[in-house]
Amino acid sequence: MAPPQEPTPTELRQRYRIERERRVRPDGARQYRGTDAEFGHYGVDPYVGEAAEREPVHDAVDVAVVGGGFGGLLAGARIRQQGVERVRIIEKGGDFGGTWYWNRYPGIHCDIESHVYLPLLDETGYVPEWKYAPGEEIRRHAMRVAQHFDLYPDALFSTAATSLRWDEASEKWIVTTDRGDAFRATYVVTSTGTLSEPKLPRIPGIEDFRGHTLHTSRWDYAYTGGGPDGGLTRLSDKRVGVVGTGATGVQVIPMLAEDAGHVYVFQRTPSSVDVRDNRPTTAADVSADHEGWARERRDNFLRIVSGEEAERDLVADGWTSSAGLLEKLLPSFRRCGDRESFESAYEAADAAKMNELRARVEQIVADQDTAEKLKPWYRYACKRPTFSDLYYPAFNRDNVTLIDTADTHGIERVTENGVVVGDTTYELDCLIFATGFSVGVSGIHSGKLPAHGRDGVQLRDAWAQHGPHTLHGFTSSGFPNLIQMGSLQNASSVNFTHILDEQAVHAAALIAAAEAQDALIEPSHEAEDAWRATLAEDAPDHEWFHAECTPGYYNGEGRGRPNGPTAYPHGAFAFHELLKRWREESMAEALRPRASREA
Ligand code: NDP
């Protein structure tokens, strides 16, 4: 039999447009809501229950770090390395780990190679057991880092920072929390994460469902039985619905398929699911025999996924082999040479990869109708690419049914007994939301964690008129000794812990310099303006790509991304080089004398 003909570029473009139109909704990001209120169990930490009583603290520390995920931990570790004594991390969860503390759903793994994802491997001497680490190994590593850098004694767990206020007289921050704490800190570092606010679709009737509900970031093992490795035996007689087939859905669905009575997968947009090939770490995988091996490997990965030249590909996986196609997401992406031939070559490479991924579905999924529904019809990386060798085989099981909800823009209604799509009601005992997070919303930008700087001005208000004003994304005039971590006016990468580590090194260097010179960290307006000009100069136009993509959080749910340059235009690797040079040559730009010293 002749092999099926591959679609022409015009046919593909047409198909992608049709598939996008099937999914774009007029309400864009407003189709989502938070997870609190009537989903009562979201208010309580499922891993420690109600927080233990403790006395509020009213002391003074050198540095307060808001957030105990890898960003906060890295800040703590790098600041400790500078010899700073009192570092207090404030964390909502009952322990360190951030997203890895909250997300413990069955099947959870990191989709980036553990040897480059887990930070501080050189420093802690730890070699990950698996190429792609399970969540529990990652969470244990977070705790290892905290122990190694002695970050437990001053930490405040099950505690949310509620306000930051600059006190001009003492030139310190006053930090308050929801546990009645009010303490002083010479410096504040914020690292509140990008995947910390779970979201639910605003589906009519969602509150009426009488069965059990949960969001994947708050798994309820008391209900399902088992643990992150599976064994969800209490679901054996249950009809389980899963909403969402993103990176989380792809990991959790095969585990549910193993144990649940029946699994109904409500899919709106299929993920692209590439080969995973996970395996235990071997000596051949990682040359952990010399100092700095992890840093070397991590730098090599960042080089490749940032579109830089690299002599070797140490990680050699799905991310690095498709790095060329990821480049269109990078600020540094440039169409080079003759535009027309460049674009058609690029489009052809994209089509080849996506054809390969669609063929993979056909090879694995036996039922043709199901296979058709699982095929991703969009350009590579319109959605975060996913990797699994378990996902497609799950659809060959009799107890798994795929329901395509694209034509109804998602599930339409929830009733007391189940979920409605088109003319059919699917009766369920349990409904699981793998519907993701409000990505990228930082508390001090949204006002949820008000930061009042000089003259009581709140950061959100200071930026309301002209947008964010920072030097390198970290510091802002009017907000002395406040250092923000995150990707705003900074840089990003698929391996975000690497970005966070570079940021932590930078934050620690700023603090060390301020201490050495008895100065405040506060850039001038001029330095901020110059940084904005750098970001604007050469700012790439990604809209051509996102405008053709199926909706999701990468492209503002199909409506385009916020205007204005938000990242360094030459990519993460170049940004880190720039920061290093700046620390060596121009750090004084961000320091000013203390008023107390001037008086
Ligand atoms: P996503 O936002 O990626 O996915 C949400 C899913 O819910 C999508 O499939 C979405 O469909 C679906 N959905 C939302 N509303 C409806 C509705 N009304 N009806 C039907 N379906 C609906 O969330 P994830 O938790 O999967 O992933 C979030 C991010 O977390 C990832 O992009 C990644 O950065 C990170 N992550 C990382 C992992 C790692 O290994 N490092 C593992 C897991 C997550 P649609 O696509 O049509 O909007």
* 570 or 480, higher pLDDT: 480
DSSP 302-366: HHHHTT---S--SS-SHHHHTHHHHGGGSTT----SSHHHHHHHHHHHHHHHHHHHHHHHHHH--
**What is the token pair recorded at 512?**
């060390």
Which residue's alpha carbon is nearest to atom 36 within ligand 1?
247
Nearest CA to ligand 1 atom 35: 247
Amino acid identity at 267: Q
How far, in Å, is the centroid of ligand 1 from the Cα of 245?
6
From the CB of 435, is ligand 1 less than 6 Å away? yes
Distance from the alpha carbon of residue 180 to the mean position of ligand 1, in angstroms: 35
Q: What is the 535 CA–ligand 1 centroid distance (Å)?
A: 29
Which atom, in ligand 1's list, is nearest to the CA of 552?
48
Q: Which of 42-56, 180-194, 218-232, 348-362 has the lowest average pLDDT?
A: 42-56
* Interval 45-70 mean pLDDT: 93
CA of 317 to the centre of ligand 1 (A): 22
- CA-closest residue to ligand 1 atom 12: 244
Pocket probe mutation, ligand 1, options 243, 414, 493, max atoms within 8 Å of Cβ: 243
Residue 410 Cβ inside 6 Å of ligand 1? The answer reads: yes
- The pTM assigned to this predicted structure is 0.94
Alpha helices in 439-551 (DSSP H): 443-446, 459-464, 496-517, 525-536, 543-546
Is the distance from the beta carbon of residue 245 to the nearest atom of ligand 1 less than 6 Å? Answer: yes
| 173 Cβ below 6 A of ligand 1 | no
Strands (E), 375-450: 386-387, 400-404, 413-414, 418-421, 424-427, 430-433
534 alpha carbon – ligand 1 mean position (Å): 33
DSSP per residue over 418-431, as a string? Answer: EEEETTEEEE-SEE
Give the pLDDT mean for 512-516.
Answer: 96
Least confident of 63-77, 295-309, 336-350, 508-522: 336-350
Greatest pairwise CA separation for the chain in angstroms: 88
Helix-strand-coil split of the chain, %, nearest 5: 40, 15, 45
* pLDDT given at position 508: 98
Strand intervals (E) in 132-257: 161-167, 172-177, 182-190, 200-201, 212-215, 239-243
Quote the pLDDT of residue 565. 60
248 Cβ below 6 A of ligand 1: yes
At 71-90, the pLDDT tens digits run 999 999 999 999 999 999 99
If you average pLDDT over residues 322-337, what whole number do you get? Answer: 71
How many angstroms is it from 267 CA to the middle of ligand 1? 11
Q: How far is the CA of 247 from the centre of ligand 1 (A)?
A: 6
Q: 210-214, 268-272, 298-302, 305-309: lowest mean pLDDT where?
A: 305-309
**Ligand 1 atom index nearest CA of 111:** 40
- Ligand 1 close to Cβ of residue 107 (< 6 A): no
**What are the C-alpha distances in Å from 348 to residues 316, 332, 333, 341?**
22, 21, 17, 10
Confidence class for position 38, pLDDT limits 50, 70, 90: very low
Closest-CA residue, ligand 1 atom 17, reads: 410
206 CA → ligand 1 middle, Å = 18
pLDDT at 599: 47
What domains can be seen in the chain, in order of their start residue?
9-34+198-276+339-437 (3.50.50.60), 60-194+440-537+569-598 (3.50.50.60)
